[in-house]
Copies of this chain bind each other. A is one copy, B any other.
Amino acid sequence: MTPTVKAILANYESDNPGVKGNLARILMQGRLGGTGKLVILPVDQGFEHGPARSFAVNAPAYDPHYHYQMAIDAGLSAYAAPLGMLEAGADTFAGQIPTILKCNSSNSWATGANQALTGGVDDALRLGCAAIGFTIYPGSDDVFDMMEEIKELSAEAKSVGIPTVLWSYPRGGALPKSGELALDVGAYAAHMAALMGAHIIKVKLPSDHIEQADAKKAYEGHDFSKQSDRVKHVVQSCFNGRRIVVFSGGAAKGADAVYQDAIDIRDGGGNGSIIGRNTFQRSREDALAMLDKLVGIYKGEQ
């Protein structure tokens, strides 16, 4: 256990050794093990967009084993997926990579901003997962329900030594599409996740737009044109760095943009990337090369 990881775990001061042990499993895993940085592979696109939109461009990715193997071979920190995806490889790859059971899911037909519960703590335990994952949509008409679901799920998970990764994605309600990526909105969403008791907070990289009229004054006089400064504000909003924060990669895009994001996350004090479509929608070779470079960035080699 490195001093860096020990220092991170010390911030989770009210958690039991089970929770800390599972956080350590993730923080000590793979090529970034011990650095306090993370790269996580999430594969929940099948629920969100369906199989063909997710995997047709790289057909081997239809097979759940493909993703486990990718996360292991790339030396990543953890692999996150819904119930069925994990069940299909949990035995073959047991002990080789920490897994995160994504416990709720939406789909392309959903008319409201909500998700269905599709997994639980008992599932996470029997599949040997290191954490559970859950999405809330701050701003949504249903956000109180989603918050109460994760309140229950997270309390149950904590009691059996399983940490919670909270996807906090502003969406729905009175929040316009144009405001979902605003800096104030993203920092607020991250702070809500911290207040809910999340161990790892997953948000999107924010733009420099300020959406809420009431929040404008608080941001006046500060320059947030640099992405790394925006990352810094999000990290600050997560108990001044006392909680692990990772940023999602968004839609597949050019490799350079992916690398620049990682550099900014690192320079802003973020803990890492959670990156799905940008890996499995490339060929295995291209994905491995990209992940190798991302790991290098977080190790400070680039």
Contacts and interface: CB of A to CB of B under 8 A. Distances in A.
A210 to B, nearest CB: 9
Interface in A103-161: 105, 107-111, 114-120, 122-123, 126-127, 138-139, 141, 143-145, 147-148, 151, 155, 159
Interface residues of A, number: 85
Q: How many identical chains are in the complex?
A: 5
B174 A111 contact: yes
A52 B237 contact: yes
B14 A187 contact: no
A88 B192 CA distance: 14
B84 A173 contact: no
Contacts of A217: 53
Contacts of A122: 155, 159
B14 A236 contact: no
B195 A118 contact: yes
Contacts of A192: 46-47, 107
Interface stretch (A34-42, A56-64, A266-274, A285-293): A56-64
Interface in A73-116: 82-92, 105, 107-111, 114-116
Contacts of A174: 109, 111
Interface of A: 11-15, 46-47, 49-53, 56-57, 59, 62-64, 82-92, 105, 107-111, 114-120, 122-123, 126-127, 138-139, 141, 143-145, 147-148, 151, 155, 159, 173-175, 184, 187-188, 190-192, 194-198, 212, 214-215, 217-219, 222, 233, 236-237, 239-240, 242-243
**3 nearest interchain CB pairs?**
A50-B188, A13-B91, A116-B144
